[in-house]
Every structure is written in C-alpha cells, then in structure tokens.
Structure 1
Amino acid sequence: MFRFALALLLAASAAQADPGFWRAEWPNTDFDTTSVESWAEIRSGGPPRDGIPALNAPDFHPVADETALSPREPVITLEIAGEVPRAYPIRYLTWHEIVNDTVGGQPVAVTFCPLCNSGITFDRRTAAGVLTFGVSGKLRNSDMIMFDRETESWWQQAIGRAIVGELNGTKLDTLPSWMESWEVFATRNPEGLVMREPTSYPRDYGANPYVRYDSADRPFLYSGENPPHGIAPLARVVRVADRAWPLTRLAEEGRISEAGVTLSWSAGQASALDSAIIGEGRDVGNVRVRDATGADVAHDVLFAFAFHAFWPDGSWMLAAD
C-alpha cells in the first residue's frame, strides 16, 4: 500500500512540476528567474504552502524549568557571543521545520529538514532586508524548499541559497549551531534558555512521524544518484563546507583533526528519525566542530545522499591522510 501511495505521489508531483501549475498558489513568485535546471527537480512533499507552519518569535524559559524533554532528546544549540545560549528542541522543529527568532538583536532562522536530517541556522539579514521564512511544501532532492514572505522567493535549505524568484542566487550566512542531547546542553548551560512548547498548534510533540526513516534503503521522493564509495544513502555525514566525514568514522575515532578543523564525537544523543518516541531513538552521538582557535565552526550532520546531491564534487573524508 505504501509503495502504491508513493507511486501516485510521484506521478502527481511529476505532473505538477511546472510553474504554470504553481502560479495560483504563488502569485508573487518570479518563476522566470531561477537557477533550477529542470522544474522536474521540484516535487510536492504533500503539505501545501504553510501546511507545515513555521514559528515566529518563540517563547523560552530557563533550563531549570524544563520538564518535558528527556535526557537524550536532540536540540539545536545556538550560542551567540554575549547572549544566553538557546536550545531549540527537535521535538518542535520536526513539526514546524523553521523557527524565525531574534537573538540579541540578530535575526536568525533555525531550520531542520527531517528528510535530510539537516539542521542549519541562518542569519536572516540580507542586502534585500531582513527576511521571514516559511515552509513551501516543496522538495528538491528530498530537501525542504523554504520561502521568504517578503518576496516569495524559494530557498534551498541545505545550501542556504535562493533558487527561484527575485532573490535567486542570494546566499544566506550560516551561523555556528549544532545538534546535541538535551542533557549535554543543560549540563553545560545551567543558566541557558530552552524554547517552550508552542501552544497554537495541535501537534504530538515528542513523537516521531518518520519512524525508522534513517534505516530506510532509499530517501523519500529522491531520484538522484546514491553516494559513492558504497556509503548508504541515509548514513549520516558531518559536512563542513564541501567536505563530508562519515559519522561512523568519527564515532570510531572519537576525534579527528583534518582540513583545518577538529571534529569530536561523544555518545548520548538519540536519533530523531528512529523510534516512535524521539527521546527513545538509537544513539547517534553528539558532534562538535571547532577551528584551530577552538571556535565553533558552522557545520551540518546530514544524510549522505543529500551531501552528494548538493555537493557532487565535494570531498569525502574517508580515512586519515
């Protein structure tokens, strides 16, 4: 039944891969300006525009007041110099995918694409002004396409670049942030802040709607090449710029210093895409990436197929030089 439903969705998506079909929903998007080579690359993920509602200006409370999160649950950590560290729980981002926030006067977008396991934080300031992002309901290489409400341009989450519309080609600055367990964040930041549960949406927060997804043989709505070197499509890799380190290698070695960065791994973070309850997922560990000065480096822990799709000429860091 699942395969039949997927086949129908694929057929419908292919039929709808044409701006003429989308203009009614996106009357303000400039479809004549794009870097997408073929509209067939863009597919409907199922929900319509804003069917997955992004969050704006979320509420926070102190670490000491948090009672819902279990120790191994993943959060996206954002530590901006001079500001109180903030944790954005994946239990909320799974259902909302984008959080538009402002930290110390700096507008940020904390994003998570479950289908790519891609968690990235962007600076929302651009030459065109401060942007507010929403979820388009469209996918490209199984990765979320965001849109900005100011120009309704479409943005590829994995690369932080506009791919359709007035702002086509504009690149967002990426801020250092990382996924780690709630316990690790709270222990390091006892005076930190954690995002409160949203109250405006009836969602089963803490539940995983993508049970066993990261054990699947093939990504959802992806028709591209598999990664090279025999790496499984849904194996996790640590991406820094255009380099990818297999998470299995990092977990085995514990610490890797290469290409001007040091990657470290420690046990204790649950996969958000494994068990029905996020906090009960299998252990995928905590990853940090720092430069030679010890400063945190912007990075992502995403699935191997997504790295290969968006960085086809990227470097695979398979073994020590």
Structure 2
Amino acid sequence: MRIILTVLTISLGLWAHELRAEPKNWVSEFPKTDFTRTNVDDWSEILSGGPGRDGIPALTDPKFVNVGDETRLGAREPVLTLELKGAAPRAYPLRYLTWHEIVNDRVGGVPVAVTFCPLCNSGLVFDRRVAGQTLTFGVTGKLRNSDMVMYDHQTESWWQQAIGEGIVGLHTGSQLEQLPAWMESWAEFAKRNPDGLVMDQPAASRPYGQNPYAGYDSRSRPYPFFSGENPPHGVPALARVVRVGERAWPVARLSKAGRIDEAGLTISWTSGQASALDTARIAKGRDVGTIRVRDSQGRDVPHDVLFAFAFHAFWPDGTWMLGN
C-alpha cells in the first residue's frame, strides 16, 4: 500500500520542487557510484521521484506462460514485444511494466533490459552487455526531464533510460545497444504469435491492470518533475511521437496517413491498442494505435514512441518530420 500511495502522490505532482537533490545527498543510497564522473552539466536537472533506490522494484528472470494459457489481459491492452531470432517471441505487458519499469531477462542467449518510463511513455529494450560485462539494472528513484534514471548493480553507474546512455559513474558516456521492439495490443501479439510467450504476473502486491497516472496523457503539461520547454511547431507536450535516431514523426500525422515512407523508413499505424496512461483501467484506455517501423528491406528498426516534450528535451536539435 505504501508504494501505491507514493506513486499516486507523484501523479499529482505535489513534491517536485521540494525534492531537488545533489550528489552529497545521494552517496548514502549509492556508495559505489563515482559522482566525479558525469556528463550532467547541471545537477538540478535530476529530481527525486519520491520512492528511493529500488522503491520501484525492477524484476529479474521473470516467469512466462504460453499465449494460449494467458487469461488476464484484455484484447486491447498494450504489451512491449520482443522478437529475436532463434527465440520464441515474448510479450511484456505494460500492466506489469508500469509498476516495475525494468525487467532484466535473457532471450535467445541475449541478456536484455526491457524498460518502460510511464512519465515519458518511453518503452525501450536494451542489450545488457557493456564492455564485455553483463549488467543488471534497477530504478534509482531519480528523474531527469521526467525520464527514469536507471542504475546498474555492478558499478552503480546511472543511466538515462530515454537515450540508453550512462550519465553518472564509471560508465558515463557508454551507450547501451537498443534492440528492435515495439508496443502493440495483446490481441495483435497473440494472433501473430500463437506459440509465443507472455510474461506472467509477478509475485508482488500491486494492483496490476490499474493505471496510477490516470488522465496523464491528456494533460497540457507533464507533471512538475519537468520544467523544460514545450516542443516547437505547436506540437502538444504530451502528444506521442515516433522517434528514430534524431527524427520524430507525430503519431497524429501517422494515424491520418496510415503509412509514411520517408528517410529510408516505412512507418505504419494501425488502430486497436489502448493507451496505458489514459483511464484508471489500462484495458479501457483510448485507442492510440500500433506503430511499426521497418527499413527498405522490411526489417524492424529500433525506435521509440514517446511524448513530444521528452523528445525535445533530449534531442533539442532533433528534426521534426511534420510533412509540411
């Protein structure tokens, strides 16, 4: 119950301006972190999100069930899909990722970190191998531009989830390899992968299936954890955009076109996926559609579908693909 109340307090945005921190306040939580190494220019960019280290508990080596045995998920519920060669396709439901944010898994021999930051709608999968070492990740409880700051257990370096980059500690400047993955509805995944696997419900006391950030993606501004600029070109701060590299396509444009062929990519939109950040019950969220990004040879391309304010914060000089 304590965790639930904490998350709900965060969603009201009541604490942000009181929880600014700096390294001297973090040493007791992260005694192994080398705070002298960083590419963060201004420590005031990093805020406490409320829960401390591991207050949002990451998962490691989760259990899976066969697609045909899954009965909890609604047809439109969003899942984060990972299809690696030589391994059964896996679906990671956002009803679980919302409460844990990181899943350390191994798929087809590849150690992966499946991550979701609800405040940015950023769902990314990374290879956990860095400089010959396999890392496992946890949640620091800190935010930068409203995006989750992760840490690795091996060196306690801090990592920015949205960009997959080390920002504090030994691995400052190191880059995690992003793997092709995408959000889609449970029905889409199950139809395409009848022999696939879906992550089983974790053995934790959480109200899985509920959205503690109800109404968030209809706000005009993010919660007060973010104090940066609004996106340019009149793009709403919490509009979803598809990011590939340093380019962003507004999902509103894609939903009208259905398909866009630009910059050597084919980006498609189909209806049927519920927003995880709309109604109190994730399964009943409004339709935000499913995005797929492929190259000229039809291969899936690493990308992200995140809020416009986050793209502008981390890629201030990025290119907006507005189609004008």
**TM-score bracket, shorter-length normalisation:** over 0.9
The residue aligned with 2:247 is 243
2:196 counterpart of 1:196: no
2:229 counterpart of 1:210: no
The residue aligned with 1:281 is 285
Q: How far apart, in 2, do the equivalents of 1:298 and 1:18 lie?
A: 33
Counterpart pick for 1:165 among 164, 169, 177:
169
Secondary structure of the 2:31 match is coil
Q: Which runs of 5+ in 1 are unaligned?
A: none
Q: Which amino acid in the other structure matches residue 227 of structure 2?
A: S
The residue aligned with 1:229 is 233
Deviation at 1:13, TM superposition (A): 1.7
CA contact (8 A) 2:149 2:161 kept: yes
Q: How far apart, in 1, do the equivalents of 2:53 and 2:194 lie?
A: 38
Secondary structure of the 1:110 match is strand
What number of residue pairs does the alignment pair up? 314
Q: Which aligned pairs between 1:63-102 and structure 2 lie closer than 5 A?
A: 63-102=67-106
Secondary structure of the 1:214 match is helix
Secondary structure of the 1:210 match is coil
Q: How far apart, in 1, do the equivalents of 2:215 and 2:127 lie?
A: 32
Q: Which amino acid in the other structure matches residue 216 of structure 2?
A: Y
Deviation at 1:32, TM superposition (A): 0.4
The Cα RMSD (Å) is 1.2
The residue aligned with 1:300 is 304
Deviation at 1:44, TM superposition (A): 0.3
Deviation at 1:6, TM superposition (A): 3.9
Counterpart pick for 1:59 among 28, 53, 63:
63
The residue aligned with 2:17 is 11
Deviation at 1:128, TM superposition (A): 4.9
Q: Which aligned pairs between 1:143-182 and structure 2 lie closer than 5 A?
A: 143-182=147-186
Counterpart pick for 1:105 among 109, 112, 124:
109
2:115 counterpart of 1:125: no
Q: How far apart, in 2, do the equivalents of 1:312 and 1:245 lie?
A: 15
The residue aligned with 1:43 is 47
CA contact (8 A) 2:35 2:169 kept: yes
Q: Which runs of 5+ in 2 are unaligned?
A: 1-8
Counterpart pick for 2:139 among 135, 139, 148:
135
Deviation at 1:134, TM superposition (A): 0.2
Deviation at 1:265, TM superposition (A): 0.4
Deviations along 1:170-191, one digit per CA (max 9) or x if unpaired, are 0000000000000000000011
CA contact (8 A) 2:62 2:105 kept: yes
The residue aligned with 1:25 is 29
Deviation at 1:11, TM superposition (A): 3.2
Secondary structure of the 2:189 match is helix
Per the normalisation by structure 1, the TM-score is 0.96
Per the normalisation by structure 2, the TM-score is 0.95
2:245 counterpart of 1:270: no
Secondary structure of the 1:21 match is helix
Q: How far apart, in 2, do the equivalents of 1:128 and 1:29 lie?
A: 20
The residue aligned with 1:312 is 316
Q: How far apart, in 2, do the equivalents of 1:290 and 1:239 lie?
A: 13
CA contact (8 A) 2:270 2:289 kept: yes
2:225 counterpart of 1:219: no
Deviations along 1:119-159, one digit per CA (max 9) or x if unpaired, are 00000011050000000000000000000000000000000
Q: How far apart, in 2, do the equivalents of 1:284 and 1:6 lie?
A: 24
Q: How far apart, in 2, do the equivalents of 1:128 and 1:12 lie?
A: 40
Deviation at 1:20, TM superposition (A): 0.6
Q: Which amino acid in the other structure matches residue 20 of structure 1?
A: K
